[in-house]
């Protein structure tokens, strides 16, 4: 038996409206996307606008010019060896290909400058230059850079060349990973979409409270109460 019909049906009305809005949010009515995908794309584009570190890393890489390294890189397959070798050859390094392994000798600054140049093109959504340079898909090229730099970090650390290893890891994280993850996304400044951003944050809070009050009203109208 319903103890308080007015409160109970107010809760039911709130819950029904909540569910209607929820259904609308999952329909492709926001520029051909549902609300979740639309907001995800928006926040990705805003975050991309504040995640560009490549220019600073290029300046640091210039300071590494003249630093010679020789590293052995373990690869997952012979095919990856061959494709990764072309990356280092484009940087002017000497490359020896063995079974599942690359032996790289060259200038650390020049190698990282080439890597950062590729990452910069990817960040700017200009993958066609990378495809032309290496002859295969740009995402795969950047993934191969990521794998190679991870292996370089390990081998340089094994050689106790910790400053060089730390910088390689920094380039991998702040340039290669960012460029790969943000490829194809157009950057936007938050000031360009401040209205939508504020609306989404306020709506999220109000929508959560809306659901909570619907539950409270239905249960209290039903006669259930919390007591100490």
* Structural domain boundaries in the chain: 5-48+187-222, 54-182
pLDDT score, position 85: 95
Per-residue pLDDT 10s for the chain (228 aa) are: 677 888 889 999 999 999 999 999 989 888 888 988 888 888 888 888 788 999 999 999 999 999 999 999 998 888 899 999 999 999 999 999 888 899 999 999 999 999 999 999 999 999 999 999 999 999 999 999 999 999 999 999 999 999 999 999 999 999 999 999 999 998 888 778 888 889 989 999 999 999 999 999 998 888 876 565
Question: Of the candidates 74, 77, 90, which has an alpha carbon nearest to the alpha carbon of residue 133?
Answer: 90
pLDDT score, position 228: 53
pLDDT score, position 206: 94
pLDDT score, position 227: 62
DSSP-based helix, strand, coil % in the chain, nearest 5: 70, 10, 20
Question: Of the candidates 20, 27, 57, which has an alpha carbon nearest to the alpha carbon of residue 179?
Answer: 57
pLDDT score, position 155: 96
pLDDT score, position 171: 97
């Amino acid at each position: 038996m319903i103890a308080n019909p007015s409160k109970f049906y107010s809760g039911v009305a709130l819950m029904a409206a909540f569910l209607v809005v929820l259904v609308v949010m999952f329909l492709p009515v926001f520029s051909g996307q549902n609300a979740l995908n639309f907001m995800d794309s928006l926040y990705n584009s805003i975050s991309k606008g504040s995640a560009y570190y490549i220019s600073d890393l290029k300046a640091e890489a210039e300071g590494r010019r003249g630093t010679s390294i020789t590293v052995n890189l373990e690869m997952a397959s012979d095919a990856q060896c061959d494709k990764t070798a072309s990356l280092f050859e484009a940087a002017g390094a000497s490359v020896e290909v063995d079974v599942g392994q690359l032996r790289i000798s060259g200038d650390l600054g020049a190698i990282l400058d080439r890597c950062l140049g590729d990452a910069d093109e990817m960040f700017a959504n200009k993958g066609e230059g990378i495809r032309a340079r290496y002859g295969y898909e740009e995402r795969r090229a950047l993934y191969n850079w990521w794998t190679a730099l991870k292996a370089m970090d390990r081998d340089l650390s094994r050689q106790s060349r910790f400053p060089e290893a730390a910088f390689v890891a920094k380039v991998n994280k702040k340039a290669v990973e960012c460029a790969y993850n943000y490829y194809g996304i157009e950057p936007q400044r938050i000031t360009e979409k401040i209205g939508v951003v504020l609306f989404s944050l306020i709506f999220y809070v109000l929508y959560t409270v809306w659901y909570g009050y619907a539950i409270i009203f239905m249960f209290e109208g039903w006669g259930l109460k919390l007591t100490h």
